[in-house]
């Protein structure tokens, strides 16, 4: 499938209700599965990752004698969280996924879980899914981890930490990447009366139990997704005129990607916080150079790479070391697709790149997504500057923002499905 997206007026006015955070939803589902009390989760994300995780957790196939196979598809968070969760649940499980998932390393998490007493084996290539997991009560204890690894490995361990007989101590080597995501995990655990201490490069969580608040009507409400909001920030900034309300966002937020509001303020977009969300308006100023370390917010790299290129702002991005093991190799994917616009992309190493945009963007024939939802959504805002933008495999947005295309249509975008031979 191929979509051609355009906007006849380039003016963005109106409001949308943003999709819920899949990061928060997935953590809430694991806590719900482990909690001693039953509670409801409202505003749960409809992202494919969350739908898959919820389906697996609700299946309740905890077979003691018959092995159960769970296929997570391309859901990376689900693979990592379930690896840790199933290791604590009595039964025999095979955890598998898509072809891309079989190429995403999980060895650091598996080795940490083995240190804590888990019984996990690789069914194919060492260090990669699929996995065979024999779930049982785990002893727990101390593990040492490189802080530059995926924060999802750390969060997966933290979420099961209160279930471990001797609790959990994680000692980090070096700075922790995507620290806001680890902070989110700890804060959500606190919401359910489980407390951890993070001090001097060490996180410790003692043996505890998850309990909900005493209010009989308590339910956990998931915030709107700041990562998804980034695409609307980009659309707003590149529009001819803008007065856009995004409902569901709030400050302060559990989500580290909320810093996108500050990034776009530097580029000329004002965020006005209201009771039910935010209002975006243009303030007409921008920087001549943009530099940022994305170690704490790697999911914003594609959005920012496209928008600074569209604004003809030279940029230097740092903190990119986790991008090669995402849904695709995002550094290579960005280099390929930005080059089509005429952008000079200099990848200095696996951690940084320099962008030098042309005076006038080229009209690309087609933007490839590499089966990556963020590649699709990050490039759509170019429809506000170019005659149109053509996106291959647009259905990939369901991984995090299922209603993205409908939200665009509601604000005047024209989306036409194109035969491949006409592109």
- Return the ∠ at Cα 164 (arms to 85 and 54), rounded to 5°: 20
**Would residue 329 show up in a list of annotated catalytic residues for this protein?**
no
Q: Which phi and psi angles does 179 have, rounded to 5°?
A: -55, -35
Question: Of all helices (H) and strands (E), which one includes residue 176?
Answer: none
If 0-12 CB within 10 Å is exposed, 13-18 middle and 19+ buried, where does residue 388 land? Answer: middle
Helix locations, 17-176, DSSP H: 22-34, 48-59, 76-87, 107-115, 151-160
Q: If you search the block for the tokens 């509670």, which residue do you land on?
A: 39
Q: How far apart are CA 245 and CA 137, in angstroms?
A: 48
Handedness of CA 313, 317, 322, 328 (dihedral sign): positive
Q: How far apart are CA 329 and CA 325, in angstroms?
A: 6
Catalytic residue among 299, 371, 372, 407: 299
Give the β-pairing of 68-71 and 91-96.
parallel
Q: How far apart are CA 62 and CA 91, in angstroms?
A: 6
Active-site residues, by number, are 299
């Amino acid at each position: 499938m191929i979509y051609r997206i355009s906007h006849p007026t380039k003016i963005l006015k109106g409001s949308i209700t943003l999709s819920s955070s899949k990061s928060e939803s997935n953590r809430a589902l694991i806590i719900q599965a482990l909690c001693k009390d039953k509670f409801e989760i409202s505003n749960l994300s409809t992202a494919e990752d969350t739908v898959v995780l919820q389906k697996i957790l609700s299946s309740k196939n905890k077979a003691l004698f018959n092995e159960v196979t769970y296929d997570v598809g391309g859901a990376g968070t689900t693979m990592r969280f379930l690896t840790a969760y199933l290791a604590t649940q009595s039964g025999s499980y095979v955890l598998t996924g898509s072809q891309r998932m079989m190429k995403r390393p999980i060895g650091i998490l598996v080795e940490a879980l083995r240190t804590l007493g888990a019984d996990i084996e690789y069914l194919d290539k060492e260090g990669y899914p699929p996995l065979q997991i024999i779930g049982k009560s785990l002893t727990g204890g101390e593990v040492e981890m490189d802080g530059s690894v995926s924060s999802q490995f750390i969060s997966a361990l933290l979420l099961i930490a209160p279930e471990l007989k001797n609790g959990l101590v994680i000692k980090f080597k070096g700075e922790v990447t995507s620290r806001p995501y680890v902070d989110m995990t700890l804060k959500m655990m606190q919401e359910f009366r489980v407390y951890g201490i993070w001090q001097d490069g060490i996180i410790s969580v003692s043996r505890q139990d998850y309990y909900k608040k005493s209010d009989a009507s308590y339910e956990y409400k998931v915030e709107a997704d700041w990562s998804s909001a980034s695409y609307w920030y980009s659309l707003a900034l590149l529009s001819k005129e803008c007065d856009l309300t995004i409902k569901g966002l709030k400050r302060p937020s559990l989500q580290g990607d909320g810093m996108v509001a500050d990034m776009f303020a530097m580029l000329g977009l004002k965020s006005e916080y209201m009771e039910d969300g935010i209002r975006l308006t243009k303030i007409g100023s921008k920087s001549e150079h943009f530099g940022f370390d994305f170690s704490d917010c790697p999911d914003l790299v594609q959005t920012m790479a496209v928008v600074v290129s569209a604004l003809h702002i030279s940029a230097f991005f740092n903190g990119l070391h986790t991008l090669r093991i995402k849904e695709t190799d995002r550094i290579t994917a960005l280099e390929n697709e930005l080059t089509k616009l005429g952008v000079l992309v200099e990848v200095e190493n696996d951690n940084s790149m320099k962008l030098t945009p042309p005076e006038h963007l080229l009209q690309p024939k087609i933007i490839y997504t590499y089966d990556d939802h963020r590649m699709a959504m990050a490039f759509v805002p170019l429809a506000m500057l170019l005659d149109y933008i053509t996106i291959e495999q647009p259905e990939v947005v369901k991984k995090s923002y299922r209603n993205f295309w409908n939200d665009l249509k509601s604000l005047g975008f024209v989306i036409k499905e194109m035969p491949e031979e006409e592109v």
